[in-house]
Structure 1
Amino acid sequence: MKGRTIVLDHLNGREAAALMVDGKLHDLLISADAPAPGTIYRAVADRPVKGQGGMFLKTPDGNAFLRQIKGMAPGDELLVQVTGYAEDGKAIPVAHRVLFKSRYVIITPNAPGINVSRSIRDDDRREELLAIVHDTLETVPHGIILRSSCENAEDAEIAEDLLSMISLADQVLNDDGTGPETLIEGDEPHLLAWRDWVEPAEVVTEDGSFETHDVMDAVDALEDPKIALSGGAYAYIEPTRALVAVDVNTGNDTSMTAGTKANFALAKVLPTALRTRGLGGQIVLDLAPMPKKDRRGFETALKAALRADSIETVFVGWTPLGHVELQRKRARLPVSELLA
């Protein structure tokens, strides 16, 4: 099946969205019981963490942890936004700078100015988008980012989205309540799919569509740690309590370049494999043997694949044993936990 299909349904009673590209699972979103990234709290500072430059905060969903607390004292109230999922037994990670993100715009209260996505290179369209902002708003009260999805969108839709997000930002920023409270809940999968999967696609919303569009088969395949790579090579992706281990093997290919080919094949598919499985944190790649002269090319290929991914991943470096270390944002919970 060629093309892009967005399938909105439920998995084990949880709201879920799947993005299928040419018949293969490209992305998967499943609602979780934990607070979703993007949730905004009115929080109360509780106690500082010595030696870490952070502060534990009280929220309606339990303790949160905030870094960079200069000038903050216990009892202070502040707005914070959930940035990811917490590890077991740890506090919710939050940031002090809140963002209001929608399909076409991002409102940035702490970063004034109007910015257009750099991926929009048509100068005329960039000027048109800036004009939409000035025609829609008498004053620009907050920073605004016009997302790449604006390039081919209707001007009226952009203006409507802009007004809606400005109104939401004003409502939250002018909140005069006291005590820990959830002011905005993070977006659920169906809304996230609308917000972030903006390329043209068929949208399917009927109940049971995961079965009729082969999503269930693709989800079941995620339980197998083994993934096939081109040329007969394969890799195992196995999360442990401490990290995610990725082991690359060349299969039946015994040629001199087998290891290099297998590693480059992994670089191409690794972001999708991690994204669909909901894996993050520390990731260690045990690559197939390849000459050291090929490391730079592999690193370039992997970094390019990671830049194209929607989840921030940092290439940390090479270990003395020749392993590659990555640090990936915990933007999602593991699929294995959500479907257990």
Structure 2
Amino acid sequence: MIGRTIILDHLNGREAAALMVDGKLDDLLISTDAPAPGTIYRAIADRPIKGQGRMFLRTPDGAAFLRQIKGMAPGDELLVQVTGYADEGKAIPVQNRVLFKSRYVIVTPNAPGINVSRSIRDDERREEILAVLHDTVENVPHGIIMRSSCEHADAEDIADDLLSMLGLADQVLNDDGTGGEKLVEGDKPHLLAWRDWVEPAEIITEDGGFETHAVLDAIDALESPRFELGGGAFAYVEPTRALVAVDVNTGKDTSMTAGTKANFALAKGLPRELRLRGLGGQIVLDLAPMPKKDRRGFESALKAALRNDSIETVFVGWTPLGHVELQRKRARLPLVELLK
């Protein structure tokens, strides 16, 4: 099937959304019992970690962990937002710079200014988007980012989304309650799909959509650590307690360029595999043998693929043994945990 299809369904009783591109699973969102990224709490400062500028906080969902705590003392109340998922047994990662993100706009209370996504390059369209903003709101009280999805959106839809997010921001920022409380629930998969999968697509909402559109078959394949790279090459992605190990193999190809071809195929496909499997943290790539002169090209190809991925990943560098190290945000829980 050619084109993009978004399927909204449930998996093992959990709300889930799948994005199929040209008949291949490209992204998968599954709800969890853990606090979702984007959740906002009124939290209570608990105890600092001496010498590290960090503090544990109390929230209704358990302990949270905050960096950069200058001027904060135990017992203080503050707004924090969940940034990702915690490792087992660890505190929820949060930040104290809350933002309100929707399909067309992001409201940034702690970063004033109005910005239009740089991916919208048509100057006339940029001016039209700004005109919608100024026609909708006078004396904008917060920072606002107009997302790339505004480029082909109707003015009315943009205005409605802007007013909704500004209203939510004002409600949270002007909250006069006390004590630990969850103020905003992080977006669930169906809403996340609407918010972030903005390119034109067919929408399937009927029950059983995962089965009829081969999503279940694709999920079954993800339970294996192996994925194909083409040309007989393959790779294994295997999480451990310390890191995620990726091993590249050339298969039956014994040509002089086999290793280079396999490694470049990995660079293209790795972000998708990590995204679908919900893997983050420290990633170590054990590449197939290739000449050192090809390292720069591989690095460029991998960085380009990571830039196009929705989850932040940093290329850390090469180790003395020729491995590649990445640091990836824990934006999702591992798929294997959600399928239990």
TM-score normalised by the chain length of structure 1: 0.99
Tell me the equivalent position of 1:282: 282
Deviation at 1:50, TM superposition (A): 1.5
For 2:180 and 2:238, locate their aligned partners in 1 and report how far apart those are by CA, in whole Å.
38
Tell me the equivalent position of 2:333: 333
For 2:157 and 2:12, locate their aligned partners in 1 and report how far apart those are by CA, in whole Å.
34
Tell me the equivalent position of 1:67: 67
SS at match of 1:325: strand
Tell me the equivalent position of 2:183: 183
RMSD: 0.5
Tell me the equivalent position of 2:8: 8
Question: How does 1:1-340 map onto structure 2 within 5 Å?
Answer: 1-340=1-340
Gaps of 5+ in 1: none
* Number of matched pairs: 340
SS at match of 1:296: helix
Deviation at 1:139, TM superposition (A): 1.5
Residues 306-325 of structure 1, C-alpha deviations (whole Å, 9 max, x = no match): 00000000000000110000
Q: Give percent identity, aligned residues only.
A: 84
For 2:290 and 2:138, locate their aligned partners in 1 and report how far apart those are by CA, in whole Å.
60
Question: Which runs of 4 or more aligned residues in structure 1 lie more than 2 Å from their structure 2 counterparts after TM superposition?
Answer: none
SS at match of 1:246: strand
Deviation at 1:51, TM superposition (A): 2.8
Gaps of 5+ in 2: none
SS at match of 1:115: strand
Residues 132-153 of structure 1, C-alpha deviations (whole Å, 9 max, x = no match): 1110012201000000000000
Deviation at 1:47, TM superposition (A): 0.5
TM-score normalised by the chain length of structure 2: 0.99
Residues 279-323 of structure 1, C-alpha deviations (whole Å, 9 max, x = no match): 000000000000111000000000000000000000000001100
SS at match of 1:55: strand
For 1:322 and 1:50, locate their aligned partners in 2 and report how far apart those are by CA, in whole Å.
37
Deviation at 1:52, TM superposition (A): 2.2
SS at match of 2:306: helix
Deviation at 1:189, TM superposition (A): 0.2
SS at match of 1:89: coil
Residues 30-51 of structure 1, C-alpha deviations (whole Å, 9 max, x = no match): 0010000000000010000123
Deviation at 1:182, TM superposition (A): 0.1
Output the amino acid matched with 2:214.
D
Deviation at 1:274, TM superposition (A): 0.3
